[in-house]
């Protein structure tokens, strides 16, 4: 990639009536955008700084606030998980569509989606729901995509694999106790049987949320390697050099 461009001051935006979001963009014109989907803790500092990282890499980035203003401390996991359980997939897909509208309004004509944990599952689902608007989808340790048994109210998504339109990258930690290794195999088999373009990257000694820089689960070496893999995947999807 070329030298990192400077980013403009980030700002809050509306992705739907009554639904906010966060936008970061590089200086100058860009044809490339990315929707950034949050973990179960809400649109927090990690999500905002990840948008800024994309802006410095030359993308305009928009993170929809799927919790409509609520955020939770990492130590408050029980309340965050309870909030996650109330999230409706159809509503989330509508708000993600609004984030894509924002990106297009900012001049981005080639867009992707990247999600973490809860957002990783939603990024996979968005590939089925909005794949015709996406160049790529990236799921960092997306829980609930293809478990052997459903966990809570979230519906597994293996039946959506035939509907995927964009290349799909799946990123996992080998020490993630919340996503069993057999899930990787189920997804790979389903994606291959459906003739999809995909990649699976698994990082050793990495727990769940290993790319979230302000959590105790953060593993810098694995996180930076995963981001390099992600940017290479996006570069290919966008036709960047």
| Domains of the chain in sequence order | 11-238 (3.40.50.1820)
Q: What are phi and psi of 49, to 5 degrees?
A: -70, -30
**Closest C-alpha among 232, 171, 230, 237 to residue 204:** 171
The backbone region for 212, taken as left when phi is positive above 0, alpha when psi lies in -120 to 50, beta otherwise, is beta
- Percent above pLDDT 90 for the chain: 90
Count CB neighbours of 20 within 10 A.
16
Confidence of residue 150 (pLDDT cuts 50, 70, 90): confident
Confidence of residue 1 (pLDDT cuts 50, 70, 90): very low
pTM, entire model: 0.96
Q: Is the pLDDT of residue 9 over 60?
A: yes
The mean pLDDT of 111-132, rounded to a whole number, is 98
Q: What are phi and psi of 111, to 5 degrees?
A: -125, 150
Each residue of 35-64: pLDDT tens digit? Answer: 999 999 999 999 999 999 999 999 999 999
- Cβ neighbors of 212 (< 8 A, separation 6 or more) are 39, 46, 116, 218
Q: Which of 12-16, 95-99, 147-151, 155-159 has the lowest mean pLDDT?
A: 147-151
Q: Is the pLDDT of residue 220 over 90?
A: yes
* Alpha carbons 200 and 30: distance in angstroms, whole number: 28
**Mean pLDDT taken over the chain:** 95
């Amino acid at each position: 990639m070329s030298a990192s461009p400077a980013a403009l001051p980030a700002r809050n935006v509306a992705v739907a009536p009554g639904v906010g979001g966060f936008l970061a963009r590089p200086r100058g014109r860009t044809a490339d955008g990315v929707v950034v989907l949050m973990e179960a803790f809400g649109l927090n500092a990690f999500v905002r700084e990840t948008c800024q990282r994309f802006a410095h890499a030359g993308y305009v980035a928009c993170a929809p606030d799927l919790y409509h203003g609520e955020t939770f401390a990492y130590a408050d996991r029980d309340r965050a998980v309870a909030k996650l359980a109330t999230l409706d997939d159809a509503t989330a897909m509508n708000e993600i569509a609004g984030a894509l509208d924002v990106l297009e309004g900012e001049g981005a004509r080639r867009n992707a989606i990247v999600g973490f944990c809860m957002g990783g599952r939603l990024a996979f689902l968005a590939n089925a729901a909005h794949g015709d608007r996406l160049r790529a989808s990236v799921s960092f340790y997306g829980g609930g995509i293809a478990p052997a048994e459903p966990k809570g109210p979230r519906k597994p998504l293996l039946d959506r694999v035939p509907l995927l339109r964009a290349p799909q990258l799946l990123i996992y930690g080998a020490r993630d106790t919340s996503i069993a290794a057999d899930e990787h195999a189920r997804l790979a088999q389903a994606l291959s049987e459906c003739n999809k373009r995909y990649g699976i990257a698994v990082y050793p000694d990495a727990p769940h949320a290993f790319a979230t820089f302000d959590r105790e689960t953060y593993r810098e070496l694995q996180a930076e390697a995963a981001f390099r893999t992600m940017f290479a995947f996006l570069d290919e999807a966008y036709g960047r050099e």
